[in-house]
Structure 1
Amino acid sequence: MKILKIDLNKMAVVIVCITAFCSCSKKLTFSENEMQLIGLDSTDGIMPIYTVDDPADTALLNAVSSDLSINDMQSEYYKILKKRLLATVQDSTNPGVGIAAPQVGVSKRLVAVQRFDKPEEPFELYSNIRLVSLSQDKAWGWEGCLSVPGKRDTVLRSTSVVISYIDDKDFKEKKDTVEGYTAVIFQHEVDHLDGILYTERKKL
Protein backbone atom coordinates (compact mmCIF):
# COMPACT_ATOMS: atom_id res chain seq x y z
CA MET A 1 0.00 0.00 0.00
CA LYS A 2 1.31 3.43 -0.93
CA ILE A 3 0.89 6.34 1.48
CA LEU A 4 -0.04 9.60 -0.23
CA LYS A 5 0.67 12.99 1.28
CA ILE A 6 -2.12 15.50 0.71
CA ASP A 7 -1.60 19.24 0.79
CA LEU A 8 -4.85 20.45 2.40
CA ASN A 9 -4.24 24.06 1.36
CA LYS A 10 -3.96 23.10 -2.30
CA MET A 11 -7.03 20.88 -2.00
CA ALA A 12 -9.02 23.77 -0.55
CA VAL A 13 -8.04 25.96 -3.51
CA VAL A 14 -9.12 23.24 -5.94
CA ILE A 15 -12.49 22.85 -4.20
CA VAL A 16 -13.09 26.61 -4.28
CA CYS A 17 -12.26 26.72 -7.99
CA ILE A 18 -14.59 23.82 -8.76
CA THR A 19 -17.40 25.44 -6.78
CA ALA A 20 -16.89 28.74 -8.58
CA PHE A 21 -16.88 26.97 -11.94
CA CYS A 22 -20.13 25.14 -11.14
CA SER A 23 -21.79 28.36 -10.01
CA CYS A 24 -20.82 30.13 -13.23
CA SER A 25 -21.87 27.23 -15.43
CA LYS A 26 -25.27 27.13 -13.67
CA LYS A 27 -25.98 30.83 -13.99
CA LEU A 28 -29.62 31.72 -13.50
CA THR A 29 -31.64 34.28 -15.44
CA PHE A 30 -33.62 35.44 -12.41
CA SER A 31 -32.75 39.01 -11.46
CA GLU A 32 -31.44 39.80 -7.99
CA ASN A 33 -34.77 41.42 -7.13
CA GLU A 34 -36.69 38.36 -8.35
CA MET A 35 -34.54 36.04 -6.24
CA GLN A 36 -35.18 38.22 -3.20
CA LEU A 37 -38.93 38.14 -3.86
CA ILE A 38 -38.91 34.34 -4.21
CA GLY A 39 -36.73 33.88 -1.13
CA LEU A 40 -34.96 30.60 -0.41
CA ASP A 41 -36.28 30.63 3.16
CA SER A 42 -39.96 30.83 2.14
CA THR A 43 -40.91 27.42 0.82
CA ASP A 44 -44.67 27.85 0.61
CA GLY A 45 -45.60 31.34 1.78
CA ILE A 46 -48.17 33.53 0.04
CA MET A 47 -46.57 36.26 -2.09
CA PRO A 48 -47.81 39.86 -2.40
CA ILE A 49 -49.85 40.46 -5.56
CA TYR A 50 -48.74 43.23 -7.91
CA THR A 51 -51.73 45.42 -8.84
CA VAL A 52 -52.62 48.25 -11.20
CA ASP A 53 -53.18 50.46 -8.16
CA ASP A 54 -49.39 50.97 -7.97
CA PRO A 55 -47.59 52.63 -10.93
CA ALA A 56 -44.41 50.59 -10.37
CA ASP A 57 -46.43 47.38 -10.27
CA THR A 58 -48.27 48.38 -13.44
CA ALA A 59 -44.98 48.90 -15.29
CA LEU A 60 -43.95 45.34 -14.48
CA LEU A 61 -47.39 43.96 -15.35
CA ASN A 62 -47.12 45.63 -18.76
CA ALA A 63 -43.70 44.09 -19.49
CA VAL A 64 -43.18 40.98 -21.63
CA SER A 65 -41.87 38.05 -19.60
CA SER A 66 -38.77 36.07 -20.60
CA ASP A 67 -38.34 32.31 -20.85
CA LEU A 68 -37.00 30.19 -18.03
CA SER A 69 -33.70 28.47 -18.80
CA ILE A 70 -33.04 24.83 -17.97
CA ASN A 71 -30.73 26.02 -15.19
CA ASP A 72 -33.59 28.11 -13.83
CA MET A 73 -35.90 25.09 -13.84
CA GLN A 74 -33.31 23.01 -12.00
CA SER A 75 -32.80 25.63 -9.30
CA GLU A 76 -34.22 25.89 -5.80
CA TYR A 77 -35.58 29.33 -6.70
CA TYR A 78 -37.81 27.75 -9.35
CA LYS A 79 -39.03 25.02 -7.01
CA ILE A 80 -39.89 27.54 -4.34
CA LEU A 81 -41.51 29.93 -6.83
CA LYS A 82 -43.84 27.13 -7.98
CA LYS A 83 -44.87 26.35 -4.39
CA ARG A 84 -45.43 30.00 -3.56
CA LEU A 85 -47.42 30.65 -6.75
CA LEU A 86 -49.76 27.81 -5.81
CA ALA A 87 -50.05 29.07 -2.24
CA THR A 88 -50.85 32.57 -3.51
CA VAL A 89 -53.52 31.61 -6.04
CA GLN A 90 -55.16 29.30 -3.49
CA ASP A 91 -55.12 31.87 -0.68
CA SER A 92 -58.52 31.44 0.97
CA THR A 93 -58.77 35.19 1.62
CA ASN A 94 -58.20 36.09 -2.05
CA PRO A 95 -58.52 32.96 -4.22
CA GLY A 96 -58.14 32.79 -7.99
CA VAL A 97 -58.40 30.23 -10.77
CA GLY A 98 -55.06 31.14 -12.31
CA ILE A 99 -51.96 33.22 -11.72
CA ALA A 100 -48.90 34.26 -13.72
CA ALA A 101 -45.41 34.86 -12.32
CA PRO A 102 -45.42 38.59 -13.23
CA GLN A 103 -48.33 39.04 -10.82
CA VAL A 104 -45.91 38.33 -7.98
CA GLY A 105 -43.10 40.41 -9.47
CA VAL A 106 -41.26 37.69 -11.40
CA SER A 107 -41.09 38.36 -15.15
CA LYS A 108 -40.84 34.73 -16.25
CA ARG A 109 -43.11 32.63 -18.45
CA LEU A 110 -44.64 30.55 -15.68
CA VAL A 111 -48.34 30.19 -14.88
CA ALA A 112 -50.55 28.16 -12.57
CA VAL A 113 -53.98 27.26 -13.94
CA GLN A 114 -56.87 25.39 -12.37
CA ARG A 115 -57.81 22.58 -14.77
CA PHE A 116 -61.59 22.54 -14.54
CA ASP A 117 -61.51 20.14 -17.50
CA LYS A 118 -59.81 17.40 -15.44
CA PRO A 119 -61.02 15.15 -12.62
CA GLU A 120 -60.74 16.85 -9.21
CA GLU A 121 -59.95 20.17 -10.99
CA PRO A 122 -56.25 20.37 -9.99
CA PHE A 123 -53.98 23.38 -10.24
CA GLU A 124 -51.13 22.76 -12.70
CA LEU A 125 -48.00 24.76 -13.51
CA TYR A 126 -46.71 25.46 -17.02
CA SER A 127 -43.25 26.80 -17.90
CA ASN A 128 -42.41 28.76 -21.05
CA ILE A 129 -46.03 28.49 -22.09
CA ARG A 130 -47.37 29.87 -25.37
CA LEU A 131 -50.61 29.73 -27.31
CA VAL A 132 -49.91 27.79 -30.51
CA SER A 133 -53.38 28.27 -31.97
CA LEU A 134 -56.75 29.72 -31.01
CA SER A 135 -60.12 28.67 -32.37
CA GLN A 136 -62.09 30.97 -34.63
CA ASP A 137 -65.12 30.18 -32.49
CA LYS A 138 -65.30 32.80 -29.74
CA ALA A 139 -67.58 33.75 -26.88
CA TRP A 140 -68.01 36.63 -24.45
CA GLY A 141 -67.53 35.89 -20.77
CA TRP A 142 -67.00 37.62 -17.46
CA GLU A 143 -63.44 37.92 -16.15
CA GLY A 144 -61.73 39.31 -13.09
CA CYS A 145 -58.08 39.50 -12.07
CA LEU A 146 -56.10 39.42 -8.84
CA SER A 147 -54.02 42.30 -10.24
CA VAL A 148 -57.11 44.42 -11.00
CA PRO A 149 -58.90 44.32 -7.64
CA GLY A 150 -62.58 45.14 -7.33
CA LYS A 151 -63.40 45.02 -11.04
CA ARG A 152 -64.96 42.62 -13.53
CA ASP A 153 -65.73 42.93 -17.23
CA THR A 154 -66.71 40.88 -20.26
CA VAL A 155 -64.00 39.75 -22.67
CA LEU A 156 -64.21 38.00 -26.04
CA ARG A 157 -62.09 34.82 -26.01
CA SER A 158 -61.56 31.77 -28.19
CA THR A 159 -63.47 28.72 -26.96
CA SER A 160 -60.51 26.37 -27.48
CA VAL A 161 -56.72 26.72 -27.66
CA VAL A 162 -53.61 24.66 -28.25
CA ILE A 163 -50.86 25.40 -25.73
CA SER A 164 -47.17 24.53 -25.84
CA TYR A 165 -44.92 24.43 -22.80
CA ILE A 166 -41.69 22.93 -21.51
CA ASP A 167 -42.05 19.96 -19.20
CA ASP A 168 -39.76 20.74 -16.26
CA LYS A 169 -39.07 17.04 -15.68
CA ASP A 170 -37.52 16.16 -19.05
CA PHE A 171 -37.24 19.70 -20.53
CA LYS A 172 -39.09 18.65 -23.68
CA GLU A 173 -41.81 20.64 -25.40
CA LYS A 174 -45.33 19.36 -24.82
CA LYS A 175 -48.65 20.42 -26.32
CA ASP A 176 -52.21 20.23 -25.09
CA THR A 177 -55.61 21.14 -26.52
CA VAL A 178 -57.85 22.89 -24.01
CA GLU A 179 -61.51 23.83 -24.34
CA GLY A 180 -64.19 25.75 -22.49
CA TYR A 181 -63.65 27.81 -19.36
CA THR A 182 -60.15 26.39 -18.80
CA ALA A 183 -59.16 27.64 -22.27
CA VAL A 184 -60.27 31.12 -21.19
CA ILE A 185 -58.07 30.92 -18.08
CA PHE A 186 -55.06 29.94 -20.19
CA GLN A 187 -55.64 32.90 -22.52
CA HIS A 188 -55.95 35.27 -19.56
CA GLU A 189 -52.73 34.02 -17.93
CA VAL A 190 -50.66 33.94 -21.14
CA ASP A 191 -51.79 37.53 -21.74
CA HIS A 192 -50.11 38.40 -18.44
CA LEU A 193 -46.84 36.96 -19.77
CA ASP A 194 -47.17 39.18 -22.84
CA GLY A 195 -47.83 42.29 -20.75
CA ILE A 196 -51.56 42.44 -21.50
CA LEU A 197 -54.27 42.85 -18.86
CA TYR A 198 -57.80 41.64 -19.53
CA THR A 199 -59.05 45.24 -19.26
CA GLU A 200 -56.95 46.08 -22.32
CA ARG A 201 -58.61 43.35 -24.41
CA LYS A 202 -61.47 45.77 -24.96
CA LYS A 203 -59.09 47.97 -26.95
CA LEU A 204 -57.47 45.23 -29.05
Structure 2
Amino acid sequence: MAILEIKKYPDEVLKGKAESVTEINGDLQKLIDDMIETMYKSNGIGLAAPQVGVSKRLIVVDTSIREENQSLIVLINPEIKLSEGDILSEEGCLSLPGFITRLKRKEKVYVTGLDRKGNPIEIEATGLLSRALQHEIDHLDGILIIDRISPLKRELFRRKYSKSKK
Protein backbone atom coordinates (compact mmCIF):
# COMPACT_ATOMS: atom_id res chain seq x y z
CA MET A 1 0.00 0.00 0.00
CA ALA A 2 1.07 3.57 -0.63
CA ILE A 3 0.17 7.05 0.50
CA LEU A 4 -1.12 8.96 -2.52
CA GLU A 5 -0.82 12.68 -3.17
CA ILE A 6 -4.07 14.48 -2.43
CA LYS A 7 -4.80 16.92 -5.23
CA LYS A 8 -5.49 20.46 -4.04
CA TYR A 9 -7.69 23.21 -5.44
CA PRO A 10 -7.50 24.36 -8.27
CA ASP A 11 -6.20 21.08 -9.80
CA GLU A 12 -8.13 20.26 -13.00
CA VAL A 13 -8.91 16.66 -11.96
CA LEU A 14 -11.13 18.08 -9.20
CA LYS A 15 -13.32 19.96 -11.69
CA GLY A 16 -14.38 17.19 -14.07
CA LYS A 17 -17.05 14.52 -13.90
CA ALA A 18 -15.45 11.16 -13.05
CA GLU A 19 -15.89 8.14 -15.32
CA SER A 20 -17.82 5.06 -14.23
CA VAL A 21 -15.80 2.09 -13.10
CA THR A 22 -16.32 -0.64 -15.70
CA GLU A 23 -13.90 -3.30 -14.45
CA ILE A 24 -13.13 -4.48 -10.95
CA ASN A 25 -9.59 -5.84 -11.10
CA GLY A 26 -6.30 -5.91 -9.22
CA ASP A 27 -5.44 -2.33 -10.19
CA LEU A 28 -8.74 -1.10 -8.75
CA GLN A 29 -8.20 -3.11 -5.55
CA LYS A 30 -4.75 -1.53 -5.14
CA LEU A 31 -6.24 1.93 -5.70
CA ILE A 32 -8.90 1.21 -3.06
CA ASP A 33 -6.26 0.08 -0.54
CA ASP A 34 -4.08 3.10 -1.28
CA MET A 35 -7.05 5.47 -0.97
CA ILE A 36 -7.99 3.97 2.40
CA GLU A 37 -4.43 4.31 3.69
CA THR A 38 -4.22 7.89 2.35
CA MET A 39 -7.56 8.85 3.97
CA TYR A 40 -6.50 7.52 7.36
CA LYS A 41 -3.01 9.06 7.15
CA SER A 42 -4.61 12.43 6.32
CA ASN A 43 -7.10 12.17 9.21
CA GLY A 44 -9.99 12.33 6.76
CA ILE A 45 -13.37 10.62 6.98
CA GLY A 46 -13.78 10.28 3.23
CA LEU A 47 -11.85 10.37 -0.02
CA ALA A 48 -12.89 10.29 -3.66
CA ALA A 49 -10.69 8.93 -6.45
CA PRO A 50 -10.43 12.33 -8.22
CA GLN A 51 -8.83 13.70 -5.05
CA VAL A 52 -5.88 11.38 -5.70
CA GLY A 53 -5.77 12.18 -9.40
CA VAL A 54 -7.89 9.29 -10.70
CA SER A 55 -11.05 10.28 -12.57
CA LYS A 56 -13.10 7.22 -11.57
CA ARG A 57 -16.38 6.96 -9.67
CA LEU A 58 -14.95 5.48 -6.48
CA ILE A 59 -15.15 6.69 -2.88
CA VAL A 60 -14.06 5.47 0.54
CA VAL A 61 -15.74 6.72 3.73
CA ASP A 62 -15.20 5.93 7.42
CA THR A 63 -17.04 8.00 10.04
CA SER A 64 -16.40 5.51 12.86
CA ILE A 65 -14.10 7.92 14.71
CA ARG A 66 -17.08 10.21 15.30
CA GLU A 67 -20.10 7.91 15.02
CA GLU A 68 -20.82 4.59 16.73
CA ASN A 69 -21.84 1.53 14.70
CA GLN A 70 -20.06 2.76 11.56
CA SER A 71 -17.24 1.13 9.64
CA LEU A 72 -15.25 1.58 6.47
CA ILE A 73 -17.36 1.87 3.33
CA VAL A 74 -16.02 1.39 -0.20
CA LEU A 75 -18.45 2.47 -2.91
CA ILE A 76 -17.95 2.00 -6.63
CA ASN A 77 -20.22 4.01 -8.95
CA PRO A 78 -22.26 5.46 -6.05
CA GLU A 79 -25.55 7.24 -6.72
CA ILE A 80 -27.84 9.15 -4.40
CA LYS A 81 -31.28 7.72 -5.12
CA LEU A 82 -33.32 9.58 -2.50
CA SER A 83 -32.70 12.40 -0.06
CA GLU A 84 -34.77 14.29 2.46
CA GLY A 85 -34.57 17.06 5.01
CA ASP A 86 -31.97 19.77 5.31
CA ILE A 87 -29.27 20.29 7.90
CA LEU A 88 -26.65 23.01 8.26
CA SER A 89 -23.22 22.02 9.57
CA GLU A 90 -19.52 22.78 9.26
CA GLU A 91 -17.59 21.03 6.54
CA GLY A 92 -13.99 20.89 5.37
CA CYS A 93 -12.13 19.12 2.59
CA LEU A 94 -8.73 17.49 2.21
CA SER A 95 -8.41 19.20 -1.20
CA LEU A 96 -8.98 22.62 0.41
CA PRO A 97 -6.73 22.44 3.48
CA GLY A 98 -7.61 24.87 6.25
CA PHE A 99 -10.93 25.93 4.69
CA ILE A 100 -14.04 25.20 6.74
CA THR A 101 -17.51 26.52 5.97
CA ARG A 102 -21.10 25.93 6.97
CA LEU A 103 -23.06 24.11 4.30
CA LYS A 104 -26.61 22.92 3.91
CA ARG A 105 -26.82 19.25 3.01
CA LYS A 106 -29.59 16.69 2.98
CA GLU A 107 -30.20 15.20 6.41
CA LYS A 108 -30.89 11.70 5.11
CA VAL A 109 -29.73 9.98 1.92
CA TYR A 110 -30.27 6.62 0.30
CA VAL A 111 -27.20 5.63 -1.76
CA THR A 112 -26.62 2.66 -4.05
CA GLY A 113 -23.45 1.37 -5.65
CA LEU A 114 -21.11 -1.61 -5.63
CA ASP A 115 -18.80 -2.81 -2.88
CA ARG A 116 -15.15 -3.56 -3.62
CA LYS A 117 -16.06 -7.07 -4.82
CA GLY A 118 -18.69 -5.80 -7.24
CA ASN A 119 -21.70 -6.74 -5.12
CA PRO A 120 -24.65 -4.31 -5.04
CA ILE A 121 -24.82 -2.26 -1.86
CA GLU A 122 -27.51 0.04 -0.47
CA ILE A 123 -26.90 2.53 2.33
CA GLU A 124 -29.45 4.60 4.20
CA ALA A 125 -27.51 7.30 6.02
CA THR A 126 -28.13 10.16 8.41
CA GLY A 127 -25.80 12.39 10.39
CA LEU A 128 -22.13 12.60 9.55
CA LEU A 129 -22.26 9.57 7.26
CA SER A 130 -24.95 11.25 5.14
CA ARG A 131 -22.84 14.42 4.91
CA ALA A 132 -19.66 12.48 4.05
CA LEU A 133 -21.38 10.46 1.31
CA GLN A 134 -22.83 13.62 -0.26
CA HIS A 135 -19.46 15.38 -0.06
CA GLU A 136 -17.54 12.53 -1.70
CA ILE A 137 -20.16 11.97 -4.40
CA ASP A 138 -19.95 15.71 -5.15
CA HIS A 139 -16.24 15.16 -5.88
CA LEU A 140 -17.21 12.57 -8.50
CA ASP A 141 -19.28 15.26 -10.24
CA GLY A 142 -16.52 17.90 -10.08
CA ILE A 143 -18.19 19.83 -7.25
CA LEU A 144 -16.15 21.23 -4.36
CA ILE A 145 -17.52 22.79 -1.18
CA ILE A 146 -16.57 26.22 -2.51
CA ASP A 147 -19.02 25.60 -5.37
CA ARG A 148 -21.80 25.31 -2.77
CA ILE A 149 -21.16 28.58 -0.94
CA SER A 150 -22.41 32.05 -1.84
CA PRO A 151 -20.66 33.94 -4.66
CA LEU A 152 -19.38 36.49 -2.12
CA LYS A 153 -17.84 33.85 0.15
CA ARG A 154 -16.39 32.10 -2.92
CA GLU A 155 -14.72 35.32 -4.08
CA LEU A 156 -13.30 35.94 -0.60
CA PHE A 157 -11.93 32.39 -0.58
CA ARG A 158 -10.31 32.84 -4.00
CA ARG A 159 -8.67 36.12 -2.96
CA LYS A 160 -7.32 34.60 0.24
CA TYR A 161 -6.15 31.53 -1.67
CA SER A 162 -4.40 33.67 -4.34
CA LYS A 163 -2.57 35.66 -1.64
CA SER A 164 -1.43 32.46 0.08
CA LYS A 165 0.10 31.18 -3.18
CA LYS A 166 2.21 34.31 -3.72
Q: From 72, 81, 96, give the equivalent of 2:31.
A: 81
Residue aligned with 1:148, SS:
coil
* Aligned 1:48-127 pairs, distance under 5 A: 48-52=5-9, 55=10, 57=11, 59-69=12-22, 72-73=23-24, 75-91=25-41, 94-116=42-64, 119=69, 121-127=70-76
Amino acid of the structure 2 residue aligned with 1:84: D
For 1:84-121, what per-residue CA distance to the aligned partner results, in whole angstroms no more than 9, with x for missing partners?
Answer: 00000000xx31010000000001110011144553x3
Q: From 128, 134, 138, give the equivalent of 2:77.
A: 128
Residue aligned with 1:103, SS:
helix
Corresponding residue for 2:163?
none
Residues 78 and 118 of structure 1: is their aligned pair in 2 closer, same or farther, counting only changes over 3 Å? farther
Amino acid of the structure 1 residue aligned with 2:135: H
For 1:144-184, what per-residue CA distance to the aligned partner results, in whole angstroms no more than 9, with x for missing partners?
Answer: 10000111000001110000102343x34332211111100
- The alpha-carbon deviation at position 122 of structure 1 amounts to 2.2
Corresponding residue for 2:154?
none
Q: In structure 2, what is the Cα distance between the partners aligned to 1:167 and 1:89?
A: 18
Q: Mind listing any 5+ residue stretches in structure 1 that lack a counterpart?
A: 1-43
Corresponding residue for 2:86?
138
TM-score computed with the length of structure 1 as normaliser: 0.69
Residue aligned with 1:50, SS:
coil
- The alpha-carbon deviation at position 194 of structure 1 amounts to 0.5
State which structure, 1 or 2, has the greater radius of gyration over its C-alpha atoms: 1
User: Aligned residue pairs: how many?
Assistant: 149
Q: In structure 1, what is the Cα distance between the partners aligned to 2:132 and 2:116?
A: 21
2:110/2:123 contact within 8 Å kept: yes
Residue aligned with 1:196, SS:
coil
Q: In structure 1, what is the Cα distance between the partners aligned to 2:81 and 2:40?
A: 28
Residue aligned with 2:75, SS:
strand
For 1:11-31, what per-residue CA distance to the aligned partner results, in whole angstroms no more than 9, with x for missing partners?
Answer: xxxxxxxxxxxxxxxxxxxxx
Corresponding residue for 1:25?
none
Q: Mind listing any 5+ residue stretches in structure 2 that lack a counterpart?
A: 152-166
Q: In structure 2, what is the Cα distance between the partners aligned to 1:186 and 1:164?
A: 11
Percent sequence identity over matched residues? 30
RMSD over aligned Cα, in angstroms? 1.6
